[in-house]
Amino acid sequence: MSRISFAELKEAPVSIKIMYAVTLVLALVGMILLVMNILEVGNIRLAVPMAFIVAGQVINLFGICRYSRRSR
């Protein structure tokens, strides 16, 4: 599996760009919740931020695999 550079992302289909945006938002929300959990702000279980982060990575993985097959 290869990485997609920003130059390739510029020319990628809109669906890939949306997938990356959703992945970024999920990862950011997960990291914010993780920091809130570490600082003990609110009553957040550790599974919640990790679920956001893992969901973002799963979307990213399937998107990269699908895009790399399409671009061959």
Residues 11-45 pLDDT 10s: 778 887 888 888 888 888 888 888 888 888 878 78
Give the per-residue pLDDT at 49: 85
Give the per-residue pLDDT at 68: 65
Strands (E), the chain: none
Examine residue 4 and state whether it is found in any structural domain, yes or no: no
Examine residue 51 and state whether it is found in any structural domain, yes or no: yes
Structurally, the chain folds into a number of domains equal to 1
Residues 43, 71: Cα–Cα separation, whole Å: 45
What's the whole-number mean pLDDT along residues 57-67?
A: 76
Examine residue 57 and state whether it is found in any structural domain, yes or no: yes
Examine residue 8 and state whether it is found in any structural domain, yes or no: no
Q: What is the domain extent for residue 30?
A: 13-70
Examine residue 35 and state whether it is found in any structural domain, yes or no: yes
Apex 33 CA angle, 52 and 18, nearest 5: 40
Give the per-residue pLDDT at 1: 46
Examine residue 6 and state whether it is found in any structural domain, yes or no: no
